Amino acid sequence: MDLKIKQSNLSAEAYNKIKLLILNGKLKSGEKIIQEKMAEKLGISKIPLISALSILQKERLLTYVPGKGFCVRKIPLDEFHDLLDLRGVLEGLAAKKLSENMTQLHKDNLLSFLENFKKYTIENNVDKYSGTDKNFHFYIIESCENAYLQHINNSFNILILIYSKGFKSDMKESASDHERIIKCIIDGDGVRASNLMIEHFEKAKAYW
């Protein structure tokens, strides 16, 4: 019994770490997962690793190619656009809910994001801007106090699938969008914030 519990924990830990590697771009789209190296890197055997990889395959983060093994899944352009549409709607709702439940801490955090968006745009620092963008959109989802919305996002890996493609939007345009969205949320204009969020992701389609 103890062995099974331990095995389950190892699979769960492997799942979370590999998922993070995909999110952070350490594992690229189309890249093969070399099981021996990955198991060694994680300090586990292949059994819990394969269990974790199988779950990630079901969640559409990985694909299995006979004779080749598990690879980070390449997302077709039409599917990627569908994900952007879905993300716009979900985050639009999240922005609206956040605007209705604003606290001083939320306001301070949003203003901090806004400051960093401006700073990294001026510095033309794509990597730091992309990281801030990623953290901002996760923050909107996680802070909206809608557990079902968070569950949908996490279960379907919507943000992870999108960020696995990298950041290609124009920073100045993106920063301007974020500024308007943040100001609307802080001002309590949830409907406007929601519409701007949807527009924000509609614009992103042009860069892919």
Same domain for 108 and 59: no
* Mean pLDDT of each 10-residue bin along the chain, 208 residues long: 51 91 86 94 93 93 92 90 92 96 97 98 95 94 91 80 79 97 98 98 90
Same domain for 109 and 9: no
Same domain for 122 and 192: yes
**Count of alpha carbons within 13 Å of 95, Cβ hemisphere only?**
30
In the prediction, which pLDDT does 3 show? 31
Same domain for 52 and 101: no
pTM above 0.85, yes or no: no
Same domain for 125 and 202: yes
Say what the alpha-carbon torsion angle 176, 181, 186, 189 is, to the nearest 10 degrees: 130
Same domain for 97 and 112: yes
Same domain for 108 and 65: no
User: What is the residue range of 54's domain?
Assistant: 2-72
Same domain for 129 and 168: yes
Same domain for 140 and 200: yes
Give burial (CB, 10 Å; 0-12/13-18/19+) of 125.
Answer: middle
